[in-house]
Amino acid sequence: MSKSNLLLKNKLLNNGLYDLFLKNKLALYSDYCSNTYDNCYFNERLRSYLNIAFYDYMTDEEYLECERIFNSFRKRTSRLRKRIECMLSNSDCIFLTLTFTDDIFIKTSIDTRHRYVTRFLNLLNCDYVGNIDFGKLNGREHYHALVNCNLVNCNSWSYGSINFKRVVNKNSLAIAKYIAKLTNHAIKSTTKNSKIIYSRKRR
């Protein structure tokens, strides 16, 4: 992604225009599902509606960037769903939450903490998927991860606390919950740390 596109994406995510775009798109999709529109009519109606609704707020370039953000997020979520479904169907899984001490926050950068998490997950020697998150009340940075193993040595995480929950329910509701946890904030940052962390394929 070029620097100009990155700046435009950041602008749309921060000024609320993308949220407005998304709400209108989802509202129209709901209307489409409750009626007998065909896809061609729906897409034409959507574009016409959005062009009118955003006439005073959004340029053509901004509209197209919103579409790119939306499509990228859908692909990311689809890929994540497939990975989680595969992990839950193969064997035991544990959902982890990794936090950092105040001292670690003071002495390290977000890039360094990202490396700490990736290194820790790699040492588990199993399939995993993880992502950064921020507390709702205080915005405190932490990480969530779903790991495909039945035992985790909590003492090996020396940068803060570690909480874990064994995955018992492996239904569609559980999958949706983990997707929501792991995609949270993945779309809102322009740094590499916002990307979902996947384990590499093991031989």
Position 178 pLDDT exceeds 80? no
Q: Domain check: are 97 and 76 in the same one?
A: no
| Residue 50, in any domain of the structure | yes
The CA distance from 144 to 183, in Å, is: 10
| pLDDT tens readout for residues 94-130 | 999 999 999 999 999 999 999 999 999 999 999 999 8
The CA distance from 84 to 143, in Å, is: 17
Q: Domain check: are 77 and 99 in the same one?
A: no
pLDDT for the residue numbered 85:
83
The CA distance from 66 to 169, in Å, is: 35
Q: Which two tokens stand for residue 175?
A: 């999958």
Final residue belonging to a domain, choices 83, 108, 128 = 83
pLDDT for the residue numbered 136:
78
| pLDDT tens readout for residues 40-65 | 555 565 555 555 555 567 788 888 88
The CA distance from 166 to 96, in Å, is: 9
- Number of domain units in the chain: 2
Q: What are phi and psi of 61, to 5 degrees?
A: -60, -40
What domain range includes position 36? 3-83
Q: Domain check: are 113 and 57 in the same one?
A: no
Instruction: Give the chain's radius of gyration (CA, Å).
Output: 20
Residue type, 191: T
The CA distance from 104 to 160, in Å, is: 8
Domain at 168, CATH number:
3.30.70
Position 37 pLDDT exceeds 60? no
Q: Domain check: are 45 and 25 in the same one?
A: yes
Q: Domain check: are 139 and 46 in the same one?
A: no
| Residue 203, in any domain of the structure | no
Q: Domain check: are 127 and 187 in the same one?
A: yes
Q: What is the mean pLDDT of the chain?
A: 78
| Residue 26, in any domain of the structure | yes
Q: What are phi and psi of 27, to 5 degrees?
A: -65, -40
Q: Taking a C-beta distance cutoff of 8 angstroms, is the pair 39, 5 a contact?
A: no
Q: Domain check: are 118 and 49 in the same one?
A: no
Mean pLDDT, to the nearest integer, of 24-43? Answer: 59
The CA distance from 8 to 202, in Å, is: 37
Q: Domain check: are 75 and 9 in the same one?
A: yes
Final residue belonging to a domain, choices 34, 50, 83 = 83
Secondary structure (3-state) at 183: helix
% of the chain residues with pLDDT over 90: 25
Which residue in 28, 9, 63 sits closest to 191, CA to CA? 9
